Amino acid sequence: MSAALFFIAAAGAIAGAVGVVLLRDPFYSVLALVVHLVCLAVLFLLLRAEFVAAVQVVVYAGAVMVLYVFVVAYVGGEGDRFEIGRLGERLRGSGPGGSRARLGGAALGGALLLELLIALLGTGLKGISGHGAGYSPGPRTFGTPAYIGQLLLTRFLLAFEVASFLLLVAAVGAVVLARRRGGIDDADAHEALAPLDLAPPRDAGTMAEGVGRPLAPAQARAEGALEARARSARSSPRYPLR
Amino acid sequence: MSIAWYLAVSAIVFTLGALGVIARRNPLVVLLCLELMLNGANLALIAFSRLWGNGDGQILALVVMTVAACEVCIGLGMIVAINRRRLPIDVDELRELQG
């Protein structure tokens, strides 16, 4: 039973990871990561880490992934959809230098996997082929919330406090980073048109206009502003995601 | 299942994450692949925690989750700021730090 559950969860976790790396649309990558996280939580449960599995599902698959989905929707993932037939082309990459970069990445990844497997499985640890230390179910045994809470508030109090302070700093930093600035190169801040700019100038529609008199300053300003707005709308398209 | 199986899965997940960080160009997906690497490390930590029957590895895994949440927070804030300036969402074209 436990072995079957392990193989199902491990296959799900690896398939989710492959999906995150290969899917072209960032939204689908986020969904694949949710699958990966839930399968990983099952693996944590099999390793008797009940509290960490619960935190994984609640915090990661719940809160952090919602944040990701919001940002993907905000940034606008206009990627092309997943098609099996174009998978090879996607892996080889497109554009100059793309194929070499992908090939180098694959070679590096293979080397890394080999090295990790040697380092993890080739150690002299005898317990690595066993099932781990003894375990007896109980209310305060290894991995339960009571056990983790006691450790966090006694031996690891400093780590606990530092982690909470780190979260505070990150929240403040995110607000500062994503805040709307009044800077000069903020592309969203167009120069606002005043209502008076749109009113027809004093001598519009008169004989003076017909004989080619220079435009009144207010009209020239309004036309200039309209033209600048049209130009900025033309020249700053949203860049497509890759 | 023996602990070695969990360690093999952890190594595969970590490698896939590293491959994605190297090969993908969308910073959103690069952040997702960083999450994959952190999760691979978490699985190894919890497997070793089970191996020794000791809760220290689980505490370290919780701290890693906190750090990952902070990294997501800052990274997504940066992506929103990049998007607001209409810069390309592409790590190849954002190689200069100068605003």
DSSP structure string for B43-86: HHHHHHHHHHT-THHHHHHHHHHHHHHHHHHHHHHHHHHHHHTT
Q: Which has the minimum average pLDDT: A147-151, A233-237, B53-57?
A: A233-237
Contact criterion met (CB < 8 Å) for B53 and A44: no
- Residue A21 · residue B24 · CB < 8 Å: yes
Nearest to A120 among B7, B17, B70 (CB): B7
Nearest to A101 among B8, B23, B71 (CB): B23
Give the Cβ contact number of residue B78 at 10 Å.
Answer: 17
Around Cβ A183, how many Cβ atoms within 10 Å? 9
Sequence-distant (6+) residues with CB within 8 A of A76 are A238, A241
ipTM of the complex: 0.92
Residue from A117, A151, A31, A180 nearest B49 by CA: A151
Give the gyration radius of chain B's Cα atoms. 17
How would residue A78 be classed by pLDDT, with cut points 50, 70 and 90? low
Nearest-CB residue to B81 (from A130, A167, A177): A177
Chain B residue with minimum CA distance to A110 = B15
Residues in chain B, how many? Answer: 99
Phi/psi-derived region of residue A97, left when phi > 0, alpha when psi is between -120 and 50, beta in every other case:
left
Of A38-42, A137-141, A194-198, B82-86, the range with the highest mean pLDDT is A38-42
**A residues 111-130 lying closer than 8 A (beta carbon) to B:** 112-113, 116-117, 120-121, 125, 127-130
Phi/psi-derived region of residue A213, left when phi > 0, alpha when psi is between -120 and 50, beta in every other case: beta
Q: Which two tokens stand for residue A153?
A: 């508030």
Residue A169 scores a pLDDT above 90:
yes
| CA distance to partner chain B, nearest, from residue A203 (Å) | 40
CA separation for the pair A47, A235 (Å, rounded): 55
Identify from A113, A179, A180 which residue to disrupt to test chain B contact, counting B C-beta atoms within 10 A and taking the largest count.
A113
Cα gap A163→B63, rounded to integer Å: 7
Q: Which amino acid belongs to residue A104? A: G
pLDDT tens profile A203-224: 677 776 667 666 566 666 677 7
Partner-chain contact B50 A132, CB within 8 Å: yes
Does A51 contact chain B (CB < 8 Å)? yes
Cα A77 to chain centroid distance, Å, stands at 11
pLDDT at A84 over 90: no
Q: Which tens digit of pLDDT belongs to each residue from B22-48?
A: 888 888 899 999 999 999 999 999 999
d(C-alpha A28, C-alpha A32), whole Å: 6
The Cα of A113 is separated from the nearest Cα of chain B by a number of Å equal to 6
Position B1 scores a pLDDT of 77
| Nearest by CB: B69 against A18, A33, A167 | A167
**Residues in CB range of B22: below 8 A, 6 or more apart:** A101, A104, A105, A108, A109
Question: What are the phi and psi torsion angles at A175 (to 5°)?
Answer: -65, -45
CA distances from B68 to A114, A163, A172, A173 (A): 26, 11, 16, 15
What is the amino acid identity at position A30? V
- Residues, chain A: 242
- Whose tokens are 């491990």? That residue is A10
Q: What is the mean pLDDT of chain A?
A: 77
Place of tokens 């000791």: B54
The domain locations on chain B are 3-84
pLDDT in tens, A18-34: 999 988 888 999 999 99
Return the residue of B nearest to A37 by Cα: B39
User: Is the CB of B89 less than 8 angstroms away from the CB of A75?
Assistant: yes
Helix axes B27-52, A65-75, angle to 10 degrees: 170
Domain B3-84 matching CATH 3.40.640.10: the answer reads no
Q: CB-based contact (8 Å) between A166 and chain B?
A: yes
User: What are A149-166's pLDDT values in tens digits?
Assistant: 999 999 999 999 999 999
The band of A242, judged by pLDDT with boundaries at 50, 70 and 90, is very low
**B chain contacts of residue A40, beta-carbon cutoff 8 Å:** 13, 39, 42-43
